[in-house]
Amino acid sequence: MKYALTGRMSKEVDRFTIDKMGVPSLVLMERAAVSTAMKVAEIVALFRRNVRILAVCGKGNNGADAVAAARILSWQGVAVDIAVIDDDRKETEEFATQMTIAGNSGLNFVNVSAIPEYDIIIDGIFGTGLSRNVEGIYADVIDLINCSNNVVVSVDIPSGIDSETGAVLSKAVKADATVTFGYNKVGNMIYPGKELSGEVTVADIGFCPEAIKTLNPCMYFTEDDLRKIPDRKAYSNKGTYGKILVIAGSRDMSGAAYLSGASAYRTGAGLVEILTYESNTDIIKKLLPEAIVTGYNEDNYCCMLEKSLKKATCVILGPGLSKDITAHNITEEVLKRCEVPLIIDADALNIIAEDISLLKSYSHVAIITPHIGEFMRLTGLTKEELLKDSVAAAKCFAQEFNVILVMKNAVTVVAEPCENGRAYINSSGTGAMSKAGMGDVLTGVIAGMLSLRIEPFSAACMGVYLHGIAGEIAEEEQGSHSVMAGDVVNILGKAVNK
């Protein structure tokens, strides 16, 4: 597990390491500069010719990092110049020190208008502390960088990206690579910041790890975390891994029920029962013979539901359920009677959106998995309002309604239902997964993680990550346009064992 910080948190980590631990600021800066220079040197090697590099710098510590990186590269024999954006802002002490060293080293200083003449730009204009819109000469310089045919390496975060939200503060550098220090930044992980950051390298520059213990940073997973998925016990049976009840599908709509049930089996469930409309039972039995398939109709759904709920250890509610009167009644009954972890998706969420008090009345563990459209209906907010700060929006909703919220998007955010609760930013997945049925697969994967006795919040996070890894493998095998939800189901085993 890794952590992603906001600008405010990054400043606190700096302060803790410097003031409490006594590590000099310039020591950290030199290590940051070395990491940046190493990345630039990698890119220089790809050109296989002499290149010209320009460090474009503001007068803050981010600019100081870039000046130091330029000096280190020059000492390695690489042609590097420096351009400082000339305005009336006061320079930091560290920036003044690095400029003195650069001058003593004989580096050449040029005007920012020369940007198009260079092959590689080191972007050191703004760092993670930026919180206002970019204007004036800074906006002009960023436009010049983006319009020039350079390779751009940003220091810590592309200039103009809000480190808290990933938003563009009116103008932002489009980097090919970003070298960020100590910990990744939230702004590098959430769109549009994620796209503008390019390839992100997280460089260890010597921050004290104690510094983050009181900060509650966002979490993200890497492939190493897949090892945390529990091994299957040798001495076990199907009952060891629970019974997942999938309440899904509607009249002649069987696909979502199958995808959820199959995904639960592929990720560890011992037994899956699918409760669906009676017209779907034959086809689901053929698609998934391992499942118990129970049919209901408008007259007997209440009785069938009661029997199935009694045996379940986890319930999935909503995929393909429709919004007819029977679906409404089933949703209400499940929220009244279910006493085990409940994963709510799709049509059940849309039914709840019509009466949000239904969600507030549920007193057991609930994991809800809305995509942005469904989340808009649940909250009454616009897409722009939700994505302005998606982590904050997810945390607020999770706490208010006492649910684990999986806010599905190109970058999915998971939030825990308590004050100062944990938040997870997903780092896996691909645009190839923007297809129908992927959400149904995700509900099954989360249920599978719960069946392995992973605690609910971690199960939701691991389910999201594993789902994305399976999508990436499917893209490698099928191509970006050809991946279907069923491909992801069949690849889940490879993802678990990656």
Q: At what angle do helices 485-496 and 255-266 cross, to 10 degrees?
A: 10
SS3 content of the chain, % helix, strand, coil (to 5): 50, 15, 35
Classified as helix, coil or strand, 240 is: helix
Give the CA distances from residue 35 to residues 219, 241, 328, 433, 442, in Å, rounded to whole numbers and listed in that order: 23, 46, 57, 34, 38
Tokens of 39: 């990345």
Tell whether residue 129 is among the known ligand binding residues: yes
Residue with tokens 């509650």: 216
Fold match between 2-215 and 225-496? no
Name the residue type at position 125: I
pLDDT at residue 252 in the model: 86
Is 64 annotated as a binding-site member?
yes
Superfamily per CATH, domain 225-496: Ribokinase (3.40.1190.20)
Does residue 463 have a known ligand-binding role?
Answer: no
Is 437 annotated as a binding-site member?
Answer: no
pLDDT of residue 210: 94
Tell me if 412 is assigned to a ligand binding site. Answer: yes
Question: Quick one: pLDDT at residue 154?
Answer: 98
159 is in an annotated binding site: yes
Report yes or no: 53 and 120 within 8 Å, Cβ to Cβ: yes
Whole-number pLDDT of residue 63: 97
Pick the CATH number of 2-215 from 3.40.50.10260, 3.40.630.30, 3.30.70.360, 3.55.50.30: 3.40.50.10260
Q: In what order do the strands lie in the sheet with 80-84?
A: 108-109, 80-84, 53-57, 120-124, 151-155, 177-181, 199-203
Looking at residue 201, what is its pLDDT? 98
Query: Could you state, in order of their start, the residue ranges of all structural domains in the chain?
Result: 2-215, 225-496
410 labeled part of a ligand binding site: yes
211 a known binding residue?
no
420 among annotated binding-site residues:
no
Whether 124 has a binding-site annotation, put simply, is no
- Per-residue pLDDT for the chain (498 aa), expressed as one digit of tens each? 999 999 999 999 999 999 999 999 999 999 999 999 999 999 999 998 899 999 999 999 999 999 999 999 999 999 999 999 988 788 999 999 999 999 999 999 999 999 999 999 999 999 999 999 999 999 999 999 999 999 999 999 999 999 999 999 999 999 999 999 999 999 999 999 999 999 999 999 999 999 999 899 999 999 999 999 999 999 999 999 999 999 999 998 999 999 999 999 999 999 999 999 999 999 999 999 999 999 999 999 999 999 999 999 999 999 999 999 999 999 999 999 999 999 999 999 999 999 999 999 999 999 999 999 999 999 999 999 999 999 999 999 999 999 999 999 999 999 999 888 999 999 999 999 999 999 999 999 999 999 999 999 999 999 999 999 999 999 999 999 999 999 999 999 999 988
63 marked as part of a ligand binding site: yes
pLDDT at 419: 84
* Residue 329 among known ligand-binding residues: no
Both structure tokens of 154 = 């940003």
Report CA Rg, the chain.
26
| Residue 132 assigned to a binding site | yes
Do the annotations mark residue 216 as ligand-binding?
no
pLDDT at residue 51 in the model: 95
263 in a labelled binding site? no
Establish whether 315 is an annotated binding residue. Answer: no
342 annotated as belonging to a binding site for a ligand: no
- The answer on whether 408 is annotated among ligand-binding residues is yes
What are the b/e assignments for 90-109, b being 16+ CB within 10 Å?
Answer: ebbebbebbbeebeeeebee
pLDDT at 48: 83
Strand locations in 59-141 (E):
80-84, 108-109, 120-124
